[in-house]
Amino acid sequence: MRIMIVTDAWFPQTNGVVSTLAQTAAWLGRFGHEVRTLTPRDFHSIACPTYPEIRLSLFPYKKVEKSIVGFAPQALHIATEGPLGLAARRFCVRWGMRFTTSYHTQFPQYLRARFPIPVSASYAALRHFHGAAVRCMVSTPTMRKDLAANGFKNLASWRRGVDTDLFKPRAKGFLHLRRPIAAYVGRVAVEKNIDAFLSMPWPGSKIVVGDGPERTRLESQYPETTFAGFKFGEDLACHLAAADVMVFPSRTDTFGLVNLEAMACGVPVAAYPVTGPIDVIDDGVTGALDTDLAKAAWRALKINPEACRARALASGWDISSREFESNLVPCRDVATGEFRIAQPKLILASRLVRESALDNASSSSMRPSRTRL
């Protein structure tokens, strides 16, 4: 099957959304599908204000249209609500193509943390965006319940996975810091609530693995903390596995993929009992949930690392990608059984011919007329 995934989140961004989409696309290819990702790398783009590593594609509609028509997908998934996602949605709605979406980011909460935008207004915009899809995929039961309470109707489950070959128990001696070591891994931004982690009482060491707009302020305010910057691949896995506990202070994430990555390394997770962690962490078994983050971190130190690893082994990317695959819908018109993509091809071709004719007519009308005497 030809599957197109349209996403505004892609490399070189480093986050759970990009990891999820990249792994899913790779596994779909292993399943025998032909996969095409449409990303900001294919377009002229600018840096997003306050998020310079995020690229915003400029005026993408025509190229999105040509890309969809050229690839003629049998299933189309729109992963994000940015410029590319909006353009792909516009095309699908215009030509009656069926498609799916996924909800990765708590934009209402993120926007509210930065600007005086009512959460209700953000949810209304997101309901409009995802409401046109046949299915909107969500990562956890709690997230599904929250969105349903905010008026979303077409929800489907899509669990996340983890690479257990890369993220696995490793030598603790990789980090030469005072123990116990509490680690935060992820983007260093205001919505991640990292102050809650850095300000909590802790007898050992703290390390922040990641980068972002808040790093300069936090480094200045918490000089006793080690800031390692972004790490990738084996280096990231080694840093994570060397920690004694991974602290996840965010209250706004939809999932928190790094929680699974920590468990795969045999590292328990401490977090608030909120959407995301509450579905990923089994309190008292793979980590600890508490409204007091320091108490959660202390309790997490007593968790059996083998239980954490066992939880991650049941969450492979192959399982996650099969669930994604089962949620996809054919682009064809259900009533006729034909792919509506054929119609845009013909109309796009006729439009190009018409525009060419208009250009010629316009050029002719500008020429000086000859008058017979």
User: Contact, 239 vs 228, CB < 8 A?
Assistant: yes
The predicted pLDDT at position 109 comes to: 80
Task: Please give the model's pTM, rounded to 2 decimal places.
Answer: 0.85
Place of tokens 């989140």: 9
Query: Does residue 249 have a cis bond before it (omega within 30 degrees)?
Result: no
What value does the mean pLDDT take over residues 277-284? 97
Query: Which one-letter amino acid corresponds to residue 212?
Result: G
Q: What would the pLDDT profile of 131-143 be if each residue is shown by its tens digit?
A: 999 999 999 999 9
Query: Into which CATH architecture does domain 2-161+321-349 fall?
Result: 3-Layer(aba) Sandwich (3.40)
* pLDDT value of position 294: 98
User: What is the pLDDT, as a whole number, of residue 123?
Assistant: 95
Whether residue 331 contacts residue 59, with contact meaning beta carbons closer than 8 Å, is answered with: no
Q: How far is CA 24 from CA 27, 28, 51, 319, in A?
A: 5, 6, 25, 10
Cα atoms in the 13 Å half-sphere on the side-chain side of 255: 25
pLDDT band at 344 (very low <50, low <70, confident <90, very high): low
Taking the CB of residue 73, how many other CB atoms lie within 10 A of it?
27
Whether the per-residue pLDDT at 238 is higher than 90: the answer is yes
Confidence (pLDDT) at 61 = 98
Nearest CA to 269 among 257, 286, 254, 255?
286
CA separation (Å) from 45 to 40, 48, 290? 7, 9, 42
> Is residue 317 within 8 Å of 165, Cβ to Cβ?
no
Amino acid at 312: A
pLDDT band at residue 47 using 50, 70 and 90 as cut-offs: confident
Going by pLDDT thresholds of 50, 70 and 90, the confidence category of residue 342 is very low
Evaluate if residue 363 carries a pLDDT over 70.
no
**Whole-Å CA distances, 289 to 222, 279, 293:** 24, 11, 8
Residue 82 has pLDDT above 60, yes or no: yes
Given a cut of 90, whether residue 323 has pLDDT beyond it is yes
Q: How high is the mean pLDDT of the chain?
A: 90
Q: With bands split at pLDDT 50, 70 and 90, how would you rate the model's confidence at 235?
A: very high
pLDDT single digits (tens) 48-78: 887 777 889 999 999 999 999 999 999 999 9
Of 127-136, 192-201, 362-371, the poorest mean pLDDT is in 362-371
- pLDDT tens profile 151-197: 999 999 999 999 999 999 999 999 999 999 999 999 999 989 999 99
Tell me the average pLDDT across 275-284. Answer: 96
Give CA–CA dist 80/246, Å, rounded: 28
Most distant CA pair in the chain, distance: 104
Contact 223, 279 (CB under 8 A): no
State the SS3 of the chain.
CEEEEECCCCCCCCCHHHHHHHHHHHHHHHCCCEEEEECHHHCCEEEECCEEEEEEECCCHHHHHHHHHHHCCCEEEECCCCHHHHHHHHHHHHHCCCCEEECCCCHHHHHHHHCCCCHHHHHHHHHHHHHCCCEEEECCHHHHHHHHHCCCCCEEECCCCECCCCCCCCCHHHCCCCCCEEEEECCCCHHHCHHHHHCCCCCCEEEEEECCCCHHHHHHHCCCCEEEECCCHHHHHHHHHCCCEEEECCCCCCCCHHHHHHHHCCCCEEECCCCCHHHHCCECCCEEECCCHHHHHHHHCCCCHHHHHHHHHCCEHHHHHHHHHHHCCCCCCCCCCCCCCHHHHHHHHHHHHHHHHHHHHHHHHCCCCCCCC
pLDDT at 111: 74
CA–CA gap between residue 154 and residue 321 (Å, rounded) = 20
Q: Assign residue 72 a region (left: φ > 0; alpha: ψ between -120 and 50; beta: otherwise).
A: left
Confidence of residue 362 (pLDDT cuts 50, 70, 90): very low
Residue range(s) in the chain whose domain bears CATH number 3.40.50.2000: 2-161+321-349, 172-315
Q: pLDDT value at position 343?
A: 52
Q: How much is the pLDDT for 116?
A: 80
**CATH of the domain spanning 172-315:** 3.40.50.2000
